[in-house]
Amino acid sequence: MKNSDQLLSGKTALVTGASRGLGRAIALALAKAGANVAVTDLLIENEAVDKEKLAEYGLLASYFSETENVRTLSTADEIEKFGSRSLGIKMDVTNSDDIQKAIAQTTDKLGSIDILINNAGVMDNMAMLEYQTEKMWERDLNVNLTGAFNCIRAVWQQMKQKKWGRIINISSFVGLSGAFAQPGYGASKAGLIGLTRSVALEGAKNGITVNAVLPGFIETEAVKLHDPKMIDRIRARTPMKRMGTPEEITPLVVFLASDGASFITGAAIPVTGGADLFVF
């Protein structure tokens, strides 16, 4: 049996939305477990940004493009210090050409993809239903749900040929509970659970497991931008009276990516500090 810090030795992982927050933490955790990791994100350091195009992805993408929280390349550099190999790649999960190029680059430099983490997502479309627009609804679904579908389809043949694969979709507990004033986010995260279970049925006979992780309120760079009063309400409604950290999500992701989780597929696992329980 492999040591816990080498559970994923010899495996190649691709993580979407890995420049910051939960995606970055997952990429680092996979590398610490021995995997080689392709760190992909819409944003990449030292690259000119088309502000008009970026605005289509919402306020958070535009905001973070001007901060030091764009760490796609630096995360890859950090991974290599662990002794794993890594690449930082600009990739838009809504763009099939981008995905194919990233997979080709990853396969050439790191080996065929064994582990896919669909983490890329948007969560800044907050408005009551009468103020929601068709454009923003479509954006939410295109990034959060269709983006995962695009990436799964792109790695599927590699995994089928090897008769081994791990696909982990980062959904949210609001996929089950609903998301107030965020219909696109709630619907897309619920859709990820349905996608997970549907694809798990196809993958099972080919040694491919497909699971969803449903985080609760996690203290990431994006969440910290919310109104402090909202943050206080989130803490108050969580039984543990705090938000989680990205590092409290990553052990489950690493386990699901390992041989130890070979009989787990189609699962949707909450990691919420109890936020999905009935709370007065």
Per the prediction, the chain carries an average pLDDT of 92
Sign of CA dihedral 6, 105, 14, 76: positive
For the cut 80, the answer to whether the pLDDT of residue 155 exceeds it is yes
The Cα–Cα gap between 191 and 214 comes to: 12
CA–centroid distance for 1 within its chain: 28
Is the model more confident about 223 or about 28? 28
Domains in the chain, please, with CATH? 4-215+251-266 (3.40.50.720)
**With bands split at pLDDT 50, 70 and 90, how would you rate the model's confidence at 1?**
very low
Which of 95, 96, 105, 87 has its CA nearest to residue 35? 87
- Which among 57, 63, 131, 185 is annotated as catalytic? 185
**With bands split at pLDDT 50, 70 and 90, how would you rate the model's confidence at 37?**
very high
pLDDT at 46: 81
pLDDT at 232: 87
The Cα–Cα gap between 203 and 160 comes to: 8
Q: In the chain, what percentage of residues exceed pLDDT 70?
A: 96
Does 185 participate in catalysis according to the annotation? Answer: yes
pLDDT at 210: 99
For the cut 70, the answer to whether the pLDDT of residue 279 exceeds it is no
Q: Which of 39-48, 102-111, 224-233 has the highest mean pLDDT?
A: 102-111
pTM listed for this prediction: 0.94
Tokens of 169: 């979709």
pLDDT at 23: 97
pLDDT at 2: 47
Helix (H), strand (E), coil (C) string for the chain: CCCHHHCCCCCEEEECCCCCHHHHHHHHHHHHCCCEEEEEECCCCCCCCCHHHHHCCCHHHHHHCCCCCCCHHHHHHHHHHCCCCEEEEECCCCCHHHHHHHHHHHHHHHCCCCEEEECCCCCCCCCCHHHCCHHHHHHHHHHHHHHHHHHHHHHHHHHHHHCCEEEEEECCCHHHHCCCCCHHHHHHHHHHHHHHHHHHHHHHHHCEEEEEEEECCECCCCHHHCCHHHHHHHHHHCCCCCCECHHHCHHHHHHHCCHHHCCCCCCEEEECCCCCCCCC
pLDDT at 62: 67
pLDDT at 220: 82
What is the average per-residue pLDDT within 77-96?
A: 96
What is the average per-residue pLDDT within 44-73?
A: 78
pLDDT at 166: 98
pLDDT at 280: 55
pLDDT at 3: 47
Backbone angles phi, psi at 40, to 5 degrees: -120, 150
Residues 108-149 have pLDDT tens digits of 999 999 999 999 999 888 889 999 999 999 999 999 999 999
Strand order across the 86-90 sheet: 86-90, 36-41, 12-15, 115-118, 165-170, 208-215, 268-271
What is the average per-residue pLDDT within 248-269?
A: 98
What is the average per-residue pLDDT within 150-158?
A: 98
